[in-house]
């Protein structure tokens, strides 16, 4: 059983979705860091937690992207 997202993880994920909808790309660590007032390494750890939850993944060049659903 997976643990639930923390409030901060959920907020970062929602921000990433909204940013993507407006800009057609994910926000950089610096943008997320500024938005949430956290250090870049804290944001990176949050992103890794989102990977563990299966919400985002890394592509072939190790950039984050949203998980693609295949049917």
**What's the pTM value of the predicted model, to 2 decimals?**
0.84
> Which residues, 6 or more positions from 16, have their beta carbon under 8 angstroms from its beta carbon?
26, 27, 32, 56
In this structure, is residue 27 part of a structural domain?
yes
Q: How many domains does the chain have?
A: 1
In this structure, is residue 61 part of a structural domain?
yes
In this structure, is residue 11 part of a structural domain?
yes
In this structure, is residue 2 part of a structural domain?
no
Quote the pLDDT of residue 51.
92
| Residue 48: domain span | 7-66
Quote the pLDDT of residue 29.
94
* CATH code for the domain in which residue 32 is found: 1.10.10.10
- Dihedral angle over CA of 18, 35, 4, 46, nearest 10: 110
pLDDT, one tens digit per residue, over 22-57 is 999 999 999 999 999 999 999 999 999 999 998 998
């Amino acid at each position: 059983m997976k643990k639930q997202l923390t409030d901060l993880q959920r907020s970062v994920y929602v921000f990433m979705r909204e940013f993507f909808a407006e800009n057609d790309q994910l926000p950089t660590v610096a943008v997320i860091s500024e938005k949430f007032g956290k250090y870049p390494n804290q944001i990176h750890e949050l992103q890794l937690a989102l990977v563990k939850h299966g919400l985002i993944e890394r592509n072939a060049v190790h950039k984050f992207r949203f998980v693609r659903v295949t049917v």
